[in-house]
Amino acid sequence: MTDPIETFIEERKDRIRQNESNAALQKAAQDFNLESNKAQYSYNFSWMGRPIIQYPQDMVAMQEIIWDIKPDLIIETGIAHGGSLIYYASLLELIGKGEVLGVDIDIRDHNRKEIEKHPMFARIKMIQGSSVSAETVAEVNKYISGKEKVLVCLDSNHTHEHVLNEIRMYSRFVTVGSYLVVFDTIVETMPDNYLPGRPWTKGNNPMSAVREFLKSDDKFIVDTTIDNKLLISVAPGGYLRKVK
């Protein structure tokens, strides 16, 4: 007898594969990605009361990854309002284990206060300092001891040099089977100066950093299944799975 659950899963996999060659769907997604980024769409959402500054589609992808891996530690560079830290912590709370470590060069007092008084703060730790300084990375390294499964998310300064340095420094913390998620690779497909005053542009962004990193590292692959599933995302080509 055919297992209906397995049948559903296989049908879903097939639909996702077909998305890659669905020109109309790809065009619609590209148009939405372009216009929504120009309109700062990601700033419209909150999680448990804190602004999260993420696309809902990427949030769902992260939920699937976290539920599947059940990491002992999630490291995120870039804290902002703390919404992502709280989102990840809430998922770990449901799982029943794990911590979230946030790193930011400037944790603003008003944001720190809101994060620290949040019900999910029990699973959150924060480090203030440049994510690419030797001192900060050494502090992060202290949290790795004894952790069997580690997931890393990079979402701070989006210039090529900074992200490439982050990838090289933090990729070693990712455990086999887990992910290094590099956000805002979408910048590569955006018009220059679509967000005035930002230093990242075509050729100088997280996507260009990912491409350079992958030229010399065979431990990670781009999980294109996630790209084909989401279509609307700020991290196309940025979901890197560690395979060895």
User: What average pLDDT does the segment 129-136 reach?
Assistant: 98
Where does the pLDDT of residue 196 fall: very low under 50, low under 70, confident under 90, or very high at 90 and above?
Answer: confident
The model's pLDDT over 207-235, given as tens digits with 9 standing for 90+, comes to: 999 999 999 999 999 999 999 999 999 99
State the CATH architecture for 4-242.
3-Layer(aba) Sandwich (3.40)
- What are 50-97's pLDDT values in tens digits? 999 999 999 999 999 999 999 999 999 999 999 999 999 999 999 999
Closest CA to 159 of 199, 190, 132, 131: 199
* Cα distance between residue 236 and residue 234, in whole Å: 6
* Domain boundaries along the sequence of the chain: 4-242
Q: CA angle, 102 as apex, 96 and 108 as ends, to 5°?
A: 130
Banded pLDDT at 194 (limits 50, 70, 90): confident
- The pLDDT confidence band at residue 179, using thresholds 50, 70 and 90, is very high
What pTM does this model have?
A: 0.96
Cα–Cα dist 100/90, whole Å? 10
Percent over 70 (pLDDT), the chain = 100
Question: What is the pLDDT averaged over residues 177-206?
Answer: 91
Measure the CA–CA gap between 90 and 119, rounded to whole angstroms: 9
